[in-house]
Structure 1
Amino acid sequence: MILVTPNQELERKNLVPVSALRKLKRLRAPPKHGDFSETASGSKTPGIQGADDPYFKYDIMQELPGGRVTIGSNEPNSMFGEYTTKTLEAKAFLIDKYPVSVAMFQRFLEHKRKYVPRAVSQGYSYVFRNFVNDSLKKSKDVLDKATQYHMVKVSQASWKQPEGPGASKPLNSRLLEPVVHVSFHDASAYCTWKKKRLPTELEWEFAARGRIHDQKFPWGRDYLHNRSNLWDGVFPNRNLMFDGFEGLSPINAFKAQNMYDVYDMLGNTWEWTLSTFREIGTSRTDKTNAKYVIKGASFLDTITGMFNHAARVSARRPVYPNSTLYNLGFRCALSKSAADNLGVNRIPSHTEL
């Protein structure tokens, strides 16, 4: 397919003066997917800059009307308080249509130069054992210390080099992947910079369900390989990649997952929420050693839960706020009233769905 840049199209139709065309020609066409070209503003680090930025369109929120929703699960393999279902009321809110990408997070760090993400400051993070460099793969001592989810502690692994030194592909080839190795505090800092916040578990599950109640997946009852990035095959040695991906996939790799037109809610990465996880027998007000609920499952999880977790809309896990993982990202949310006051860029809700 031949792509025609905006200035070529204008020149062909002769709709603008020559002087204006010359000015347009000094601007580069938007990079192709994964390209790290210089943007129109002259920056060599693409981020969320404006309409001329190829990543701008992924920084948009979906307005949702709120209402009653049944969350949780009655499945026999329910874990971490997923059981049983309960019907709750969600107020109108906005949620990011896409998870926060590497490009978006990079723009945040360019503006907040003094901010140091957790994985960078501590000097390590946890990476799926299959993706570490060859030296670590040969180290029995390192692999023996892998977590139950086959995560390995890797020095210098971070949002910028998710697999760690000697294993990560160039940053410019993964700008549309979800940012990972971010702690709860990193995610909160980014959302605050955007004048947003993390979604609550109720908001996250409301958005993921898309008005479809009592179904496992955002799109309905049956799993579809072309809608989500999950593990296919025998974990951890063989991923058949029916969905087309071995590891992380771009945030736009699959079409919207439900009628609310949100992307990547299920699979690819788990996502932070604002909701604290309450252990059985502890007080709701006890914030000591608090864990936070993460939602969505990741590419390491399976449909049935035979390996790792059962990937479904109700899936949840408790994680400490300082944790950083190869399969954990986030997206932001905002109440409708706050969004109205801020004039946030959004797509209106479709209450007729």
Structure 2
Amino acid sequence: MRFVEGGAFTMGSEAFYPEERPLRQVAVDGFWIDEAPVTNRDFARFVEATGHRTVAEIAPDPKDYPGMDPAMAKAGSLVFTKTAGPVPLTDYHLWWSFTFGADWRHPYGPDSDLDALDLWDHPVVHVAWGDAAAYARWAGKDLPTEAEHEFAARGGLERKEFAWGDELAPGGQMMANYWQGLFPFSNTLDDGWERTSPVRTFPPNGYGLYDMVGNTWEWTSDWWAENPSRGLKAKESGQSCCAAKNPRGGTLKGSFDPSQPQVRIGRKVIKGGSHLCALNHCQRFRPAARHPEMVDTSTSHIGFRCVVRSGKSARR
């Protein structure tokens, strides 16, 4: 883990998506954060020690999802599949499919495995929020808040769009694992990777942290709120005296529609973007980027890392 000194920073961006606005002054206390995302090797140790079964390994109960087709009540997870050609970018069903038998050990489906694909040092995927939280508890850690994640991702840079500055590929150098070309059918692989990459493949940011943007999205502990400045005031200056201290996200009450029982469990904030973010779709391989994700959902492009806050010691 790396220790990140606390401080004030300008959170958000006004250059991309509305949910990142407005710019606001935020301060966080110092904390330790994993240098890289939790890998398959790390997660395997947790599973061996605890016997934990992930959400993707347990068949959903149709009673929890009114209207569910009983044929879909099987263990599995969402897997990305590249399309044969251009498709409407408004219909994610064209590249995401619920794949029976897909889980963290079998990231592309039941016939794939970590050994054959040499994925032990890649970020673990197909973990729902509860799986990530269970790992964090076992390790004596926590999941980061949205503010902690963004502060760490910025690496000490203020008001820069990427974790290394304002230029996506300075001097032509690939700085993160994201999609080059036209999503979701043509990836030029300028960064060398079709899907996830081993952690620490790309340069660290100013705090010595790897993959804070790109590679995989990362779970945070905060509930989603459409307006991230709820209760905060946008600041024109960078004075830390007026910054919101250690802010938290929305509430579960504000994150679900009671008329839709299947979403009552709510959505958490994910940060950092993934290898599926492209210039023509989901430009979220940036510290300010944020997205909601159902806590019972696992996919082939979401992982996590952990933090330890002041006064708490990690066991592992």
Q: Same fold (TM over 0.5)?
A: yes
Cα deviation code 1:241-298 (max 9, x no counterpart): 1111111100121121x110000011010000001102469x8462653210000000
1:105 matched to which residue of 2?
43
Matches within 5 A, 1:263-278: 263-278=210-225
Find the aligned partners of 2:270 and 2:166 in 1 and give their Cα distance: 22
Report the Cα distance in structure 1 between the residues aligned to 2:93 and 2:288, rounded to whole angstroms.
22
Match of 1:196 in 2: 141
Between the aligned partners of 2:99 and 2:189, the Cα distance in structure 1 is 25
After TM superposition, the score normalised by the length of structure 1 is: 0.70
Q: Take 2:159 and 2:94, find their aligned partners in 1: how far apart are those partners?
A: 28
What residue number does 1:78 align with? Answer: 17
Partner of 1:331: 305
Please give the residue correspondences for 1:136-215 in structure 2 after superposition, counting only pairs within 5 Å.
147-148=92-93, 150-168=95-113, 170=115, 173-215=118-160
Deviation at 1:235, TM superposition (A): 1.3
Alignment of 1:1-353 (within 5 A): 61-75=1-15, 77-79=16-18, 81-113=19-51, 115-122=52-59, 123-130=75-82, 147-148=92-93, 150-168=95-113, 170=115, 173-224=118-169, 225-256=173-204, 258-279=205-226, 284=251, 286=253, 288=256, 289=264, 290-302=266-278, 304=279, 306-339=280-313
Shift of 1:147: 3.1
Which aligned runs of 4 or more in structure 1 are off by greater than 6 angstroms? Answer: none
Structure 2 gaps of 5+ residues are 60-74, 85-90, 231-249, 257-263
Contact 1:177 1:251 in 2 (8 A): yes
Contact 1:63 1:336 in 2 (8 A): no
Q: Distance in 2 between matches of 1:326 and 1:243?
A: 19
TM-score between both structures, scaled by the size of structure 2:
0.78
* One-letter amino acid of the structure 2 residue matched with residue 128 of structure 1: F
Q: 2:277 is aligned with what amino acid?
A: D
Letter in 1 for 2:77: S
Structure label with greater radius of gyration? 1
Distance 1:130 1:278 in 2: 31
Unaligned runs of 5+ in 1: 1-60, 132-136, 138-145, 346-353
The number of residue pairs the alignment matches comes to 263
Question: Quick one: structure 1 residues 70 and 148, their matched pair in 2 at CA, closer, same or farther if it must change by over 3 Å?
Answer: farther
Distance 2:284 2:271 in 1: 12
Report the CA distance between 1:311 and its aligned residue.
Answer: 2.2
Identity of aligned residues (%): 34
Question: Alpha-carbon deviations, 1:209-262, whole Å to 9, x = none?
Answer: 011011111111101242100000011111001111111100121121x11000
